[in-house]
Amino acid sequence: MTLVYDGAPVDGAREGAAAQPWRAVPVAEAAWMRGHLPAVQELMVAGVLREVPEYARPGDPVYRQVVEAAVVFAMEHLVRLIEDPDVSWKDVYQVYFDVGYGEAVEGRSLEHLQNAMRIASRTAWRYLAAEYQRLGRPLSLLSVMAEANFAYLDELSSAAAAGYRRAREKAAGEREQRRHRLLGLLLSESPVPEGVVAEQAAMAGWPLPQRLAVIVLRPRPGSGGEGPSGLPPQVLAGLDGGRPCLVMPDPDGPGQSERLTGMLAGWSGAVGPAVPPGEARVSLHWARRALELPADPCAGADDAQRVGLVRAEERVADLLLEAGGRLTEIVAARRLEPLTRTRSRHGVRLAVTLLECLKNGFNATGAAAALHVHPQTVRYRLGQLHDLLGFDIEDPEIRLELMLLLQVWIRREGELPEQPA
């Protein structure tokens, strides 16, 4: 027999006499059981309220009414089932489906309901067994009745579990919708009142942090734009222009950096700066810009090949240069024009050397270590630079500007093909 709730078929009473032991109970037993229903039902309700504290609420009669209704409905259906094994399961299944659904909505574990059902079934069986022995009825019939009793309990437990699962699935779906709505509010182009964001965060069960960071990831081929799985519940996830997008609360908290690296292992993307929730859009903007940055031309081979997350706060100079656009390219081409006139690769080598010297305070040993060359090679190239450029490369007044211009020039000239000697 197939039972249906809300259009979804669920297996009810299973086919086959072995799985339906009530078919083996003589029909005459139904009349005998019906005469004992008031007494056994009262004992079952009392047993549940006594042994399951979650349902024993003297100040709230609703719980007792629910227990009484469920017990009465089940026992009357069992009697009808003995009279006619083909009687419909639809109504009793609906009752226990709804009871299981209600348990999930109330936030209780299914264990309490299952325990209550076991206690009620055991109480009924003890009463009926005692009556059978008192009347001296055949033990073989008692055994059949016991098997029918516990098989019937299994069916009702299955119905309650299905209702519980349905409620949990629905709640999870609603919570996910609220989280997506919250993500949309946080990253909205237009300002959203703080109260609206706080209210939506509360509805989504997401504690609003003092600071957060937005992370934009590169989609993996064949992933359909889906982001990483198994994320902790405090991380909001969605899409930004078809790319996986995450919001991580308190990114600067203890252990958060390691936690972020661990949960996004194997992914590449960019992390925006940590900002208050009201400025999440700012973090998203710089995460997007950081994701578009080319690889650091001065990075070593190992760094260039490493897959991971670009942090906007660690690429401030690059981001400022990108924001400068064409202006920085024009100024770099003019100030570093003598390098352009040299052989292409050699000019780039000189520019990279000068940039590392600026980073290391013109310490030849430190620059040489970063470049993986001999310190004397650095000194030789610095001599060439002094001769080529028409300004003092060690002038503190132009050091910051020169560091920025060198990165723009290296990025552009580094893409030129190797020129013959």
* Tens of pLDDT, residues 363-413: 999 999 999 999 999 999 988 988 888 888 888 888 888 888 888 888 777
- The chain-wide mean pLDDT, for the chain, equals 82
Q: In which region does residue 240 sit, left (phi positive, over 0), alpha (psi from -120 to 50) or beta (all else)?
A: beta
CB count, 10 Å around CB of 396?
Answer: 7
Domain limit, last residue, from 315, 334, 358: 315
Domain limit, last residue, from 149, 173, 197: 173
Please tell me the predicted confidence (pLDDT) of residue 8. Answer: 40
63 and 151, same domain (yes or no): yes
Domain for residue 161, yes or no? yes
Domain for residue 11, yes or no? no
Which contacts (CB < 8 Å, 24+ apart) does range 249-258 have?
A: 249/207, 249/209, 249/211, 249/212, 250/209, 250/210, 250/211, 250/212, 251/211, 251/212, 251/213, 252/211
Please tell me the predicted confidence (pLDDT) of residue 337. Answer: 84
25 and 162, same domain (yes or no): yes
Domain for residue 140, yes or no? yes
Residue with tokens 């083909």: 86
Domain for residue 229, yes or no? yes
CB count, 10 Å around CB of 141?
Answer: 14
pLDDT at 320 over 60: yes
Please tell me the predicted confidence (pLDDT) of residue 90. Answer: 92
Domain for residue 238, yes or no? yes
Q: In which region does residue 181 sit, left (phi positive, over 0), alpha (psi from -120 to 50) or beta (all else)?
A: alpha
CATH code assigned at 111: 1.10.490
pLDDT at 12 over 70: no
pLDDT band at 3 (very low <50, low <70, confident <90, very high): very low
Structural domain including 257 reads 209-315
Instruction: State mean pLDDT over 269-279.
Output: 92
78 and 41, same domain (yes or no): yes
Domain limit, last residue, from 173, 197, 218: 173
Q: Distance (Å, rounded) from C-alpha 111 to C-alpha 161?
A: 10
Instruction: State mean pLDDT over 100-121.
Output: 87
Domain for residue 333, yes or no? no
> For residue 161, what are the contacts with CB-CB under 8 A and spacing of at least 6?
100, 110, 114
pLDDT at 102 over 80: yes
163 and 213, same domain (yes or no): no
Instruction: State mean pLDDT over 66-71.
Output: 85
Domain for residue 214, yes or no? yes
Please tell me the predicted confidence (pLDDT) of residue 414. Answer: 66
Domain for residue 53, yes or no? yes
Please tell me the predicted confidence (pLDDT) of residue 15. Answer: 41
Residue with tokens 């000194």: 379
Please tell me the predicted confidence (pLDDT) of residue 133. Answer: 83
28 and 90, same domain (yes or no): yes
142 and 80, same domain (yes or no): yes
167 and 26, same domain (yes or no): yes
pTM of the model: 0.53
Q: What is the DSSP secondary structure assignment for residue 27, as one 8-state letter?
A: T
Instruction: State mean pLDDT over 327-356.
Output: 83
Ordered alpha helix ranges (H), 254-390: 256-263, 280-291, 301-305, 316-324, 326-335, 337-341, 344-359, 364-371, 375-388
Please tell me the predicted confidence (pLDDT) of residue 225. Answer: 63
309 and 351, same domain (yes or no): no
At 225, which helix (H) or strand (E)?
none
28 and 95, same domain (yes or no): yes
244 and 300, same domain (yes or no): yes
pLDDT at 218 over 60: yes
Quote the number of domains for the chain: 3
Give the N- to C-terminal CA distance of the chain in Å, as an integer: 87
pLDDT at 136 over 90: no
pLDDT at 418 over 60: no
349 and 311, same domain (yes or no): no
- The counts of H helices and E strands in the chain are 16, 7
218 and 269, same domain (yes or no): yes
